[in-house]
Amino acid sequence: MSDQIPLWGDSATDNPAAARVVQLRKELERHNYLYYVLDEPAISDAEYDRLFRELEGLEREHPELVTPDSPTQRVGAQPATEFGAVRHRVPMLSLGNAFGHEEFVEFDGRVKRVLGLEADVDIEYVCELKIDGLSISLTYVDGVLVTGATRGNGVEGEDITSNVRTIRAVPLHL
């Protein structure tokens, strides 16, 4: 999070609004971390919302204090609609699935062929339900989020960095 908020004087005390914005951002980021990463909220949702609304109000009154890493810019931000390409350093492979006994038997046959096993050899499998979602690759340089990309075709995905920055649970800094 940036503390580089323009100030009118030599110190934050010369601009109480800027000082409060810095304080609110730090507090909200701390509570985001506690809630989304540690799953240990320290304040009620109502108190969080009060702090968030206070920050929104200050930024509305002082637009020169708005920065891209403000919590207000992450939540409800308009997603980008045009995406550039990102080549993955390591391919992002997909998990396989089977939707019935027949598909599982086909999968078992492929595994045995790849491993060079006879068809009658028993293999022990561990299975779990597949939950649909979106896979993303996050790249941090010196602890700062620089790229978020979709899986795409596994070799190349779409650059969704600006969208990823709107997700509270994704840290902008490590």
Q: DSSP H helical segments within 101-160, as ranges?
A: 101-115
**Residue 81, CB-side half-sphere exposure with 13 Å CA sphere:** 1
Q: What is the DSSP letter of 135?
A: -
Per DSSP, the three-state class of 64 is helix
Which residue in the list 50, 53, 113, 130 is annotated as catalytic?
130
Structure token digits, residue 138: 């996050």
For 2, the token pair is 């940036």
Indicate if 26 belongs to the active site.
no
Dihedral, CA of residue 7, residue 13, residue 18 and residue 23, to nearest 10: 140
Catalytic machinery residues: 130
